[in-house]
Chain A
């Protein structure tokens, strides 16, 4: 039993309290229970009478019952109203019509709730997301608490679907078309004060003494002090009201939404576009027809591969975001030392200060320190400009970063992160110094992207405190962190590092110390392959376009320009030394590097970057000085587009399999999390290895063999891991 009904002081309370769970979910079973309660209330619903009114002639109340003032929906869970629908149920939708039935069933029950003659109130004290939000929308009134855990929203698009319990119908009507569309299309939730501003809730109340405020609220409803109109709580003024009120204005808003969705998703994600199409229809229909459109379109989406892939990614991200070491509760880090105030050091300093951690930022001169401080300040300035932060908040956080030339203040740090140049000699020296300057409690971390953490640990008194903590550039944007364990890294060190990463809101994967770890190792094989394709006569633009069409946020050459060819070439050399000939930078890279075309930083790379052209590189002209090699000069060239794509992808899949074989990571999920959140591999494809699974291991093996044969290239030789999978008829995810 997860929902109970009781009456108190002529008010009905529907209480959600899912058994054996920390949260309430709107499962099919819960919906059934709600349905029963609503059915039992339907006659009682008639019990509601406005004050002073008398019963219609011939009607009488059931014996022992007086008229109900209101029906209130509450949760008995801490910080949760209803967290959403059960994702497993959505994942389980495979048959056609199954989605339709599920949506209809939910819609009908929420309609019943909406149609009660009694005022209905959702009391939201915590997360009201997805189905939970839709349930609240079906109530006539919403009262939220000041609880900072209160979040209200419809995040369905993140799972490749859209709200289908009437959310697309009710929300735009309640809070207006622009805000309603925005919430549904972005999936972003709002806190209670924003919800009040939007008109999504009617009033806010403190958690303490909530009963009292609820009674006042009910009284105010009875006295007519709150607009009884179900929708349109918000009055718009001026231009906005003209825009929203006219058909032409609405058409314009829809067009704008489509364009912004296309810009953000490049059309790879069907859910938001479908949601717009649905709202564009049902905004002008009555409830029955409107909800019918919603249910039908939902049915189309729910069974798609994209939705399944996004749900897979959702599970993975939930799993890895919460990684911890069982049984160890590390002390929260209060202060962090950072050595090296370059792009990475400055970025890490900003990220930590943003999480209210004190930062001691060390470098060897003030020019370097100024650069790091400046880059952190710029991020805060941008956040203020975009109104994500108030100026005072940014100032207080910025104040947490103090620059220094020596190691003063390092003794009481919880963690020290080295982010100096990728040079083993320099890093060893830093770790020697750090080991002397840091305290016994300090975790010593390196932000290296490829070098041996074990070797650095060798310089310290206590190698068990040493760990790799590889952030990706730009630090504030990239969600992934690779945590690198050496053979000596202690559990406590890992636990402390994971706790810090969780606090920073990043998603970690835990990787064994080995050359290039996971993401760079897989990614650079791909970039090198792109270089070979360039040597074989394919153009920079064509190769990049094949990958962006596949769904990568940018092509391999655009990416190289962003990172810098100097960095790319350096890491390739490190990988070549550690992993073998397949990572030897292709000749054309060396030639281009020698000409000083480093990418964005030098103004010219594979593309020309005009000064002042900030932001996106797309639309930038290719560098005419970079000419593809001659077709036919390389054996086996003349690949078609399909083969170009396959070569770049299969090189990655083969390398990923090698990582699993070597035990660098323990599960295919770690690789997919790494590639999606660290390298921008398209989430709608579910990740590199999930994508491989949809292609089928056998198909991949035979294509790898064909390529090996055709190009006489060992790098395509299928790894033992793949061959074993094939032999046992397994997939990556079925091991």
Chain B
């Protein structure tokens, strides 16, 4: 059978917003990962059929960022490229697109990745100020210019943060953290449970540092090029449960439980995969890390977006004809501790399985096989990149421990869930 092979994957370190990578834009992060992938796999760039990148914040100065990354990475001008956006699952979407194109016989060799520079998400001018500035640019006489300028009121000067706008759902009006609060309240998930989960994420990420290093290309950040960043800078040495407990709830100050400590970090980073058909891999004498067995995307209520994986996981298992117990390792993206815990509770509930006809495809997930090297709470969540990162981390983990099956899943802002089953 001609399966979808993932030959290799590479990513930059993940760095918290405003830290080492603050002067590297999304295309440059994507370029670093992609070029390194080309160098390490030794793939002849003329073999590549297309380049697909996921990116959420889509910088205004880099329209179709995938194309820009492709050209900056030395992929021939004759190879097309396009950018995909499925919010937090954009990286998964890129890989799914590659898989679909191979399955439909459109090509056999793809670069699929994700990139995000949350440090470089701009502030926006108010609509009023924008209009005044437009008038000003059209004004011919000094008097007209003065007239235009005189209309500016102090309130118009207040910028709007693009990051906050991007994280707010325009349909339910909630910022992502509030959707996590909703789940925490609905499932009765305590602050203590969430903080304990967050602490475990940090501890696992710190323990897994040398493992994670295997998927990382160190980056020497401009403009100073002082020294290389070789590791993710999110995991905190010496993180204690007490310190986490001290944090104030961020989204619901009075009665909330979701804090910045038990939420994912806002982060910069990029990742890239080389995806081919199984046959192409053989032709090119490339040894795949593993294969994509199945993938699924689902929709859920926007104000409960964090529950996405609870639906995506049973559905992808159904597609693959597998049971939850067949899966040897699982990654559920830690957008919020509350949201992951809510998914685990739902999956574990017979009532839930019954309601959605997931019987046999849901069940208990052993914490020992879940997010073994930590998750986004410690490592960070560069939204467009995380999906790609999860696939790489999972495949490397499976190879390291000689596992045959793995599953990665994410919740998606706007109310979706995504899941992919990987096998060797």
Cα–Cα distance between A490 and B225 once the two chains are bound (Å): 39
B220 at interface by CB-CB < 8 Å: yes
Of the listed stretches A133-141, A406-414, A638-646, A721-729, name the one at the interface; the rest are far from the partner chain: A406-414
With an 8 A cutoff between CB atoms, is B218 at the interface?
yes
Which of A360, A367, A399: most chain B CB closer than 10 A? A399
The verdict on A404 contacting chain B, using a C-beta distance below 8 Å, is yes
Chain A residues near B39: list those with CB within 8 A. 360, 402, 404, 408-409
Query: Which residues of the other chain, B, contact A412 by a CB distance below 8 angstroms?
Result: 42, 44
B225-A370 in contact (CB<8A): yes
A373 touches B40 (CB 8 A): no
Q: Is the CB of A370 within 8 A of B72?
A: no
Inter-chain contacts of B74 with A (CB < 8 A): 358, 400
Asked if B42 and A402 make an inter-chain contact with CB atoms under 8 angstroms apart, the answer reads: no
- Contact check, B72 vs A399: say whether CB atoms are below 8 A apart: yes
Counting CB contacts under 8 A, is B346 at the interface?
Answer: no
C-alpha spacing A535/B38, complex, angstroms: 58
Q: Is the Cβ of A396 less than 8 Å from the Cβ of B220?
A: no
Q: Which residues of A contact B227 (CB under 8 A)?
A: 366-367, 370
Interface centre among B44, B220, B225 (most CB of A within 10 A): B225
* Tally of contact residues, B, Cβ under 8 A: 22
Given contacts A377-B223, A396-B72, contact A366 B42 (CB under 8 A): no
CA distance in complex: A367, B44 (Å) = 30
Let me know if B320 is at the binding interface, CB within 8 A: no
Interface residues of B in 260-293 (CB under 8 A from A): none
Check: A374 CB closer than 8 A to any chain B CB.
yes
CB pair B42 A411 closer than 8 Å: yes
- Bound-state Cα–Cα, A518 to B72, Å: 40
Query: In the bound complex, do residue B220 and residue A366 qualify as a contact, i.e. CB atoms below 8 Å apart?
Result: yes
Contacts of B165 in A (CB 8 A): none
Q: Scoring B residues 61 to 81 as 1 if CB is less than 8 Å from chain A, else 0, what string do you get? A: 000000000001010000000
Interface size on A, residues (CB 8 A): 21
In contact, A402 and B228 (Cβ under 8 angstroms): no
Q: Is the CB of A402 within 8 A of B220?
A: no
- A356-396 interface bits toward B, Cβ cutoff 8 Å, 1 = contact, 0 = none: 00101000001101100110010001000000000000011
Whether B222 lies near A370 (C-beta < 8 A) is no
Q: Does A403 contact B (CB under 8 A)?
A: yes
Chain A residues within an 8 Å CB radius of B35: 399, 402
Question: In the complex, which of the residues B38, B225, B230 contacts A373, with contact meaning CB atoms closer than 8 Å?
Answer: B225
Tell me whether A369 and B36 are in contact (CB under 8 A). no
Give Cα A411 to B226, complex, Å. 29
> Could you tell me the distance in whole angstroms from the C-beta of A368 to the nearest C-beta in chain B?
10
B226 surroundings in chain A (CB, below 8 A) = 370, 374
Judging by beta carbons under 8 Å apart, are A408 and B40 in contact?
yes
Return chain A residues, CB-CB under 8 Å to B31. 399
B423 adjacent to chain A (CB < 8 Å)? no
| Residues in chain A near residue B230, CB distance under 8 A | 366
Taking each of B38, B220, B222, which has the highest tally of chain A beta carbons within 10 Å of its own beta carbon?
A: B220
- A400: which B residues are within 8 A, CB to CB? 74
Find the B residue at minimum CB distance from A360. B39
Q: Does B28 have its Cβ within 8 Å of any Cβ on chain A?
A: yes
- Closest Cβ neighbor of B43 among chain A residues: A412
Q: Which residue of B lies closest to A412 (CB)?
A: B42
Q: How far is the CA of A411 from the CA of B28 in the complex (A)?
A: 25
Chain A residues lying within 8 Å of B218, measured Cβ to Cβ, are 366, 403
* Cβ-neighbour of B40 out of A369, A396, A409 (below 8 A): A409
Contact A366 B72 (CB under 8 A): no
Specify which chain B residues have a CB less than 8 angstroms from the CB of A402 in the assembled complex. 32, 35-36, 39
- B28 near A374 with CB under 8 A, answer no
Interface residues in A522-578 by Cβ distance below 8 A to B read none
Question: CA separation between A641 and B39, bound complex, in Å?
Answer: 59
In the bound complex, CA of A400 to CA of B222 (Å): 14
| A373 cross-chain contacts in B, Cβ below 8 A | 220, 225
Complex contact A370–B228 (CB within 8 A): yes
CB neighbours of B225 from chain A (8 A): 370, 373-374, 377
Which chain B residues border A360 with CB–CB below 8 Å? 39
> Roughly how many angstroms separate A360 CA and B228 CA in the complex, as a whole number?
16
A366 CA to B226 CA in the complex, in Å? 10
Residues of B within 8 A of A381 (CB): 223
Q: Are B72 and A403 in contact (CB under 8 A)?
A: no
Complex Cα spacing A491 to B19, Å: 52
Give B224 Cβ to nearest chain A Cβ, in Å.
Answer: 8
Chain B nearest CB from A723 CB (Å) reads: 55
Contact between chains at A366 and B28 (CB < 8 Å): no
| Interface flags, A181-220, vs B, CB<8A=1, else 0 | 0000000000000000000000000000000000000000
Closest to B72 in A: A399
Q: Taking CB as reference atom, which chain A residue is nearest B229?
A: A366
Shortest distance between the CB of A571 and any CB in chain B (Å): 30
How far apart sit A403 and B40, CA to CA, in the bound complex (Å)? 12
- How far is it, in angstroms, between the C-alpha of A408 and the C-alpha of B223 when the chains are bound? 26
Closest to B222 in A: A377
Known A-B contacts A408-B40, A409-B39; A399 and B220 likewise in contact (beta carbons under 8 Å): no
With the chains together, A360 CA to B74 CA distance in Å?
Answer: 13
A358 CB contacts on chain B under 8 angstroms: 74
Write 21 A-B pairs (CB below 8 A) sorted by A numbering: A360-B39, A366-B220, A366-B230, A369-B228, A370-B227, A370-B228, A374-B225, A377-B223, A377-B225, A395-B28, A396-B72, A399-B28, A399-B35, A400-B74, A402-B32, A402-B35, A403-B228, A408-B39, A408-B40, A409-B40, A409-B42
Known: A374-B225, A402-B39, A412-B44. 20 other contacts (CB 8 A): A358-B74, A366-B218, A366-B220, A366-B227, A367-B227, A369-B228, A370-B220, A374-B224, A396-B72, A399-B28, A399-B35, A399-B72, A400-B74, A403-B228, A404-B39, A409-B38, A409-B40, A409-B42, A411-B42, A412-B42
Chain B residues at the A interface, C-beta cutoff of 8 Å? 28, 31-32, 35-36, 38-40, 42, 44, 72, 74, 218, 220, 222-228, 230
The 6 closest A-B pairs by CB, nearest first: A409-B39, A366-B228, A374-B225, A370-B220, A408-B40, A373-B225
A residues contacting B by CB (< 8 A) are: 358, 360, 366-367, 369-370, 373-374, 377, 381, 395-396, 399-400, 402-404, 408-409, 411-412
